[in-house]
Amino acid sequence: MIEQDASQGAPDLSQLSETDLEQAVLLLIKGLRAAGAAAGLAGDELDESVARTLAFLRRRISGDYTIDEFGYDADFTEHVAMPLLRPLYRSWFRVEVRGIENIPAEGGGLVVANHSGTIAVDSVMTQLAVHDETPGRRSLRMLGADLVFGSPVVGPVARKTGSTLATSADAQRLLDEGHLVGVWPEGFKGVGKLYKDRYRLQRFGRGGFVAAALRAEVPIIPCSIVGAEEMAPMLANAAPLARLLGIPYFPITATFPWLGPLGLVPLPSKWLIEFGTPIRTDDRGEGAADDPAVVFEISDRVRETIQHTLYDLLRDRRSVFF
């Protein structure tokens, strides 16, 4: 008797869970269709986007995607991260890109940019600018601080979207493999500076990025970003609090921490991103990467170029918000 019950019960159970699953999927499809319709899609376009989303979800749930050795997950970056950031890029900051033709169409290159804005949104905006404006839709691989990769949630997302640790080993490897690499040599000194120091470039460190470019013989593309400084003006730095929390700085802005999480919403400043003329590094001969004189000369040149372009862009800009 018991055996029979069990053998009859088993198929029933599996049928039940299958219909439940089917219903859940149908509900999900309905939800997606409604969301798509609300976003102004119709007909074939709607069907297609629903199908794409379902295919994406299937890949994520079954683990059927590929990451590279640095942890870069192209599927996630192009289908989740970039669509989420695009409204910020297009409607909020209204990013205007200049000199995109200076990004090499293929092969390695090192994009060196100024860092600002209290929270480092400028790096992802640059990544989006490179991806959306270059004909080949190139992905920019970014170098970040070790603090990023040790942090929960932020660390894995950074790796998935193409960041890796700012060490010469990783930079070298990416450039040798023909990737386009983005570096913000000012680091936390740049993002964590006060509003009164806006658009004043901080120290560029020892020029490790220049040495990496020299070894890989790839061009350096100076990149100047205007607008990020005004999105969350940092009025003061609560240094003791930062030390207590083990972070490089603790920003006090007009809205943060006073309004809590709402204070993290950036101001809608108008952004300009200009990619400058590439600086060649393949004509310096053997051993140039180990010659501090050459490294500092190029590092200074990149820094000067970015600083002057920033002044030019600021003169061009009509107002902070338009």
Partner 1 sequence: MDEGSRPKVVLVTGVARELAGRVVRRLADDPSIDRVLGVDLVPPKHPMGRGEYVRADVRSPLLARLITQARVDTVVHMGVIATPRDAGGRVVQKDINVLGTMQLMAACQKSAGVRRVVVKSTAGVYGSSPKDPAVFTEEMTAKRLPRSGFPHDSMEAESYVRGLSRRRPDIGITMLRMANVIGPSISTVLTDYFRMPVLPVPFGQQGRLQFLHEDDAVAAAVHATTGPVAGTVNIAGDGALSLGQAIALSRRPWVPVLPGAAGLSLWATKQLGWAALPSDHMDFLSFGRVIDTQRMRKELGFAPAYTSRGAFESFLAARSAHDRPEQQPMEDVT
- Return residues touching partner 1 (CB under 8 A): 3, 6-7, 10, 60-63, 65-71, 73, 146, 149-156, 159-160, 164-165, 167, 169-170, 173
Question: For residues 149 and 296, which CB has a smaller minimum distance to partner 1 in the complex?
Answer: 149
In angstroms, the CA 89 to CA 310 distance is 20
Contact 239/299 with Cβ under 8 angstroms?
no
Q: Shortest Cβ distance from residue 208 to partner 1 (Å)?
A: 13
* H-helix or E-strand spanning residue 214: helix 208-216
Question: For residues 171 and 272, which CB has a smaller minimum distance to partner 1 in the complex?
Answer: 171
Structure tokens at 310: 């920033």
Question: For residues 77 and 164, which CB has a smaller minimum distance to partner 1 in the complex?
Answer: 164
Question: For residues 3 and 44, which CB has a smaller minimum distance to partner 1 in the complex?
Answer: 3
* DSSP annotation of 80: I
* 3-state DSSP of 133-159: HCCCCCCEEEEECHHHHHCCCHHHHHH
The length of the chain in residues reads: 322
Structure tokens at 39: 């976003």
Q: Shortest Cβ distance from residue 222 to partner 1 (Å)?
A: 26
SS3 68: coil
Contact 97/129 with Cβ under 8 angstroms?
yes
Question: For residues 168 and 307, which CB has a smaller minimum distance to partner 1 in the complex?
Answer: 168
- The DSSP string of 285-298 is -TTGGG-HHHHHHH
Q: Shortest Cβ distance from residue 166 to partner 1 (Å)?
A: 10
Q: Shortest Cβ distance from residue 224 to partner 1 (Å)?
A: 28
Q: Shortest Cβ distance from residue 233 to partner 1 (Å)?
A: 30
Question: For residues 152 and 261, which CB has a smaller minimum distance to partner 1 in the complex?
Answer: 152
SS3 223: strand
Phi, psi of 119 (to 5 degrees): -110, 140
Place of tokens 């000012």: 186
Question: For residues 7 and 319, which CB has a smaller minimum distance to partner 1 in the complex?
Answer: 7
Q: Shortest Cβ distance from residue 126 to partner 1 (Å)?
A: 21
Peptide bond into 251 cis (omega under 30): no
In angstroms, the CA 87 to CA 180 distance is 24
Question: For residues 94 and 173, which CB has a smaller minimum distance to partner 1 in the complex?
Answer: 173
Contact 295/210 with Cβ under 8 angstroms?
yes
Q: Shortest Cβ distance from residue 157 to partner 1 (Å)?
A: 9
Q: Shortest Cβ distance from residue 89 to partner 1 (Å)?
A: 25
Place of tokens 């992905």: 139
